[in-house]
């Protein structure tokens, strides 16, 4: 019972996946076209602030992605980049894969949110390959990180072994170089600056000392640092 | 100009072992099911397949992998396929991984008669190995070659006897690009109509790019990730 | 996301003298008549216009030429325009002639985030002067840069309030390419509808590329070469 | 009166524009996609042999060009590359200018027929600019000659001054280099070979000597040379 209490307290000390998504949703602005990766990023769609017109892009060829279909209404011809059955919203448009990545490359997509295995303090990202393990491929990740205007990574601050995923240099094969602008983890929110990670917000109950301890890359604390408001 | 063939068997009859094929589709969405079945039946091998994905164990290109017909896959994502993994790890299958947008744009380059294109994706990664890097306006690009394929095999929603094609929803994906990039392009369609039925303003692939066309049969259209929301609220 | 503006005057209100504009249309077909009229009214000048043609004396870009608003034309064909000829011969107007397919593909390069493309047209001609020549597979190509423009101004058949566009017949021409290539894209449409009316499978330009849209008025759609056949046989 | 008779006889001695077009139409094959330039080339459409399925491309964005419209049925949104009002045939397709030249560049158009001011015996062509005269622009000509699989030039053998337009080297600014495969003039039909122009057919009543005299570039006579059959 004491153990359970401890667990409960721990959970209050850091953001869960939904809360990370909710925090990232605060970055959305009216009129944004957004690409959300698989995993935590997908959850961001659930927290788009009321009144904001945000259009979701799916890189397999859709602008205006809607929620999952109701049971029985799945259409095999209508899936997202995660191969999940989806729907569209009014005003959507389909296109081929070249146009899809063309609009990403041309900077028309305002924000890309994706997960990562590692992020370096210069904005490098690694999220597609672990040497020695089966490599499934980079899919659209390399295109997205190379070309999107603004890239936010959503991930856990540490790996299951407790090692920092915010590094001075990625150890895994890179997906892209110097491209990540912001990282939102269970512990806080970090801009990528010339001086490495800059902690601008911390999760409720998490201390700055803990964040510094768990960040392997260069890190500074913003003078205006504050608790994440979600 | 007789483009209409009787079916998949006739459409693929002259594809030899060792051919380089483009195969449309993203995951299992919009794949040329009939032609894949015919290729499996025909039993040719040593194929190079340019396709965004490699199907699943028992569907799509996975069926060709089971029969060991594929020598090399050029894809962006090949997960969800145990036999693929086995062949790759054993060295039976060669795999070239290409970023998805680069894959699409290299098809488009072929379709548009451009020999190579400068693309951002992969700069600074292992994808850049051996490639020309060039800086334009402060950004680094890789020079990526257009694809050469012998046959492009695509699946469309509707087509006419002139070879004009239209696609439905996200089943479009790589299909129009590959259709336009094939030296010989084979299109299977869910519905084949006479010229004049499709609105000329809304043709995704003009018939000039399509050499053989037929109405496919028995589409299974398997769903890879069936996701639904609760009826509630 | 409010893309709908009241009309041409509002749509072009922040275009300054000296701006680089792309203007859709081929000949007088599919030109943005309302925006051209508004540009003439506004009276800005020193404009660089990227447009396949330069209109005729009293219509299209010809109206802007009459008011001496254009400093430079980047076009493939500029015949049929006496005032144009006068300004060009007198040195008032700078003209850069670009092969038509190169013009189109340089727009597409911009739209697709490609900084430059290798194209066949013009190799061995004066168009090649000063350009990088590169041989791929035995053919010589010129390296042609993507266009940088401040505004793209296009005319579509129908559009919706999200900015999705569709075009009619050969009035499509350069319009979708320029719409996708503009830093700020202004679209005038014959019919503006609510989201959901246009079929998402048949959108020529997805709304992501379009920043301002309005329903145009009083289209004249002048015909340059009225050619008919006799009713007979 | 004697003069008139002479004129009449002269006309029999060479092909008129319609006959040039008719001869070029013999080059068409079933399933060909063809781009016809302005002038004599346009007339080729009138002589497509019965039973051949030939699709006309207009480089402003149409496959499946039909005849001119009947009076009152002109549509300003439907023109050809010469800006003439046209119609479409069933099975036509519209596309943007990039795709139009893309299909030309990718070699999908089987045959391009266009006019010229000069053709050189190595296949160079000049047809867009006369120094000192108002330059109207190359339009799509440079793209077409650089990229089409097969280029046939339709033109008069000599200019109004009687000078040969079939040269050893073009004097006018080039439109394209080494691209013309065949020339059909009022005097004959000429392949471009390694040895220059090869006369394979002569117009009714025209002598080989006359052709040789009026050809400034290198010329050979095919052993199988014969009268044009139209």
pLDDT in tens, B182-213: 999 999 999 999 999 999 999 999 999 999 99
What are the average pLDDT values for consecutive 10-residue runs of chain C, which has 233 residues?
Answer: 94 98 97 98 97 95 96 93 89 96 98 98 97 97 97 98 98 98 98 98 98 97 92 58
Task: Tell me the nearest-neighbour CA distance from D148 into chain C, angstroms.
Answer: 10
Query: DSSP states of B132-152 as a string?
Result: -EEEETTEEEEEEEPP--SEE
Beta-carbon separation of D105 and B114 below 8 A: yes
Identify residues of C whose CB sits under 8 angstroms from chain A CBs. Answer: 1, 110-114, 160-162, 164, 180, 194-196, 200-201, 203, 206-209
Q: What is the pLDDT of residues B142-188, one digit of tens each?
A: 999 999 999 999 999 999 999 999 999 999 999 999 999 999 999 99
Whether B224 is covered by a domain: the verdict is no
CA–CA distance, B61 with B21 (Å, rounded to integer): 11
Core vs surface per residue C159-193: b (16+ CB within 10 A) or e: bbbbbbbbbbbbbbbbbbbbbbbbebbbbbbbebe
Interface contact D53, partner B, CB < 8 A: yes
Query: Dihedral angle at the C-alpha atoms of A228, A213, A172, B132, nearest 10 degrees?
Result: 70
If you average pLDDT over every residue of chain A, what do you get?
A: 93
Beta-carbon separation of A138 and B103 below 8 A: no
Which chain D positions have a beta carbon within 8 Å of C223's beta carbon? 74, 76, 79, 85
Whether B223 is covered by a domain: the verdict is no
How many Cβ atoms are within 10 Å of A4's Cβ, its own excluded?
8
Give pLDDT, residue C233.
Answer: 47
Task: Tell me the nearest-neighbour CA distance from D86 into chain B, angstroms.
Answer: 15
Tokens 């002639």, residue? C97
Contact present, B142 and B99 (Cβ < 8 Å) = no
Whether the predicted model's global pTM rises above the 0.90 cut: yes
Whether C64 is covered by a domain: the verdict is yes
Give yes or no for residue D182 having a pLDDT over 50. yes
Task: Tell me the nearest-neighbour CA distance from A145 into chain C, angstroms.
Answer: 14
How many Cβ atoms are within 10 Å of D204's Cβ, its own excluded?
13
Q: Choose the closest CB to B121 out of A69, A75, A147.
A: A147
Whether B136 is covered by a domain: the verdict is no
Give pLDDT, residue B230.
Answer: 81
For an interface test with C, the pick among A92, A101, A104, A146 (most C C-beta atoms closer than 10 Å) comes out as A92
Give pLDDT, residue C81.
Answer: 85
CA–CA distance, C49 with C17 (Å, rounded to integer): 12
Distances from the Cα of D199 to the Cαs of A95, B197, D185, D192, D225, in angstroms? 50, 46, 11, 9, 7
Give pLDDT, residue B82.
Answer: 87
Beta-carbon separation of B137 and C119 below 8 A: no
Give the rounded distance of the alpha carbon of D43 from its chain centre. 10
Interface contact D58, partner C, CB < 8 A: yes
Report percent pLDDT > 70 for chain B: 99
Whether B228 is covered by a domain: the verdict is no
Bridge partners, B20 (sequence order): B48
CATH of the domain at C99: 3.40.1080.10
Mean pLDDT of D74-82: 96
**Domains: count for chain B:** 1
Beta-carbon separation of B114 and C112 below 8 A: no
State residue B127 phi and psi, 5-degree precision.
-65, -25
Which chain B positions have a beta carbon within 8 Å of D147's beta carbon? 113
* Structure-model confidence comparison of residues B1 and A107, the more confident one: A107
Give yes or no for residue D13 having a pLDDT over 80. no
Give pLDDT, residue A83.
Answer: 94
Residue A1: pLDDT band (50, 70, 90) is: very low
Give yes or no for residue A10 having a pLDDT over 80. no
Instruction: Enter the tokens of residue C56.
Output: 């005729």
DSSP alpha helix (H) spans, chain A = 2-13, 17-25, 40-43, 97-105, 141-147, 208-213
Give yes or no for residue D5 having a pLDDT over 50. no
Give pLDDT, residue A230.
Answer: 84
* Domain of B42, in residue numbers: 8-114+147-215
Whether B231 is covered by a domain: the verdict is no
CA–CA distance, A168 with A215 (Å, rounded to integer): 9
Whether B29 is covered by a domain: the verdict is yes
Q: What is the pLDDT of residues A162-208, one digit of tens each?
A: 999 999 999 999 999 999 999 999 999 999 999 999 999 999 999 99
What ipTM was estimated for this complex?
0.95
Reported for D29-33, long-range contacts at CB under 8 A and 24+ positions apart, including other chains, are: D29/D110, D30/B1, D30/D54, D31/B1, D31/B2, D31/D110, D32/D110, D32/D111, D33/B208, D33/D57, D33/D63, D33/D108, D33/D109, D33/D110, D33/D111
Give pLDDT, residue C58.
Answer: 93
Q: What is the pLDDT of residues A49-84, one digit of tens each?
A: 999 999 999 999 999 999 999 999 999 999 999 999
Whether C206 is covered by a domain: the verdict is yes
């Amino acid at each position: 019972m004491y153990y359970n209490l401890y667990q409960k307290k721990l959970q209050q000390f850091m953001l869960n996946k939904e809360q990370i998504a909710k925090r990232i949703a605060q970055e959305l602005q009216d009129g944004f076209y957004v690409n959300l990766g698989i995993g935590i990023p997908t959850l961001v769609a659930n927290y788009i602030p009321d009144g904001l017109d945000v259009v979701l892009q799916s890189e397999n060829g859709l602008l205006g992605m809607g929620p999952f279909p109701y049971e029985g209404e799945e259409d095999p011809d209508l899936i997202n980049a995660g191969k999940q059955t989806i729907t569209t919203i009014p005003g959507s448009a389909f296109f081929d894969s070249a146009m899809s990545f063309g609009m990403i490359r041309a900077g028309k997509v305002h924000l890309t949110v994706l997960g990562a295995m590692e992020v370096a303090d210069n904005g490098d990202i690694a999220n597609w390959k672990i040497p020695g393990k089966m490599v499934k491929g980079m899919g659209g990740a390399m295109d997205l990180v190379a070309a999107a205007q603004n890239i936010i990574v959503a991930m856990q601050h540490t790996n299951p072994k407790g090692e920092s995923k915010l590094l001075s240099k990625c150890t895994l094969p890179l997906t892209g170089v110097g491209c990540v602008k912001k990282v939102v983890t269970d512990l806080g929110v970090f801009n990528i600056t010339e001086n490495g990670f800059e902690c601008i917000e911390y999760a409720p109950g998490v201390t700055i000392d803990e964040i510094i301890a768990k960040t392997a890359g260069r890190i500074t604390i913003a003078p205006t640092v504050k608790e994440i408001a979600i | 100009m007789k483009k209409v063939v009787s079916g998949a068997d006739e459409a693929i009859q002259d594809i030899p072992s060792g051919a380089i094929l483009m195969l449309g589709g993203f995951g299992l969405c919009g794949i040329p099911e009939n032609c894949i079945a015919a290729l499996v039946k025909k039993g040719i091998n040593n194929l190079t397949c340019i396709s965004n994905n490699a199907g699943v164990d028992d569907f799509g290109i996975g069926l060709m992998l089971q029969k060991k017909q594929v020598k090399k896959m050029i894809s962006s994502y090949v997960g969800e396929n145990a036999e693929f993994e086995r062949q790759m790890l054993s060295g039976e299958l060669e795999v070239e991984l290409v970023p998805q947008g680069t894959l699409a744009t290299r098809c488009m380059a072929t379709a548009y008669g451009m020999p190579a294109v400068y693309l951002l994706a992969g700069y600074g990664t292992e994808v850049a190995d051996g490639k020309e890097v060039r800086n334009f306006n402060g950004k680094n690009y890789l020079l990526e070659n257009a694809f050469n394929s012998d046959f492009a095999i695509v699946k469309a929603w509707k087509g006419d006897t002139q070879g004009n094609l239209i696609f439905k929803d996200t089943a479009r994906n790589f299909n129009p690009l590959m259709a336009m990039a094939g030296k010989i392009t084979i299109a299977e369609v869910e519905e084949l109509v006479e010229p004049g039925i499709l609105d000329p303003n809304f043709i995704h692939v003009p018939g000039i790019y399509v050499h053989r066309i037929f109405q496919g049969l028995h589409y299974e259209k398997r769903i890879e990730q069936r996701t639904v929301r609760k009826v509630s609220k």
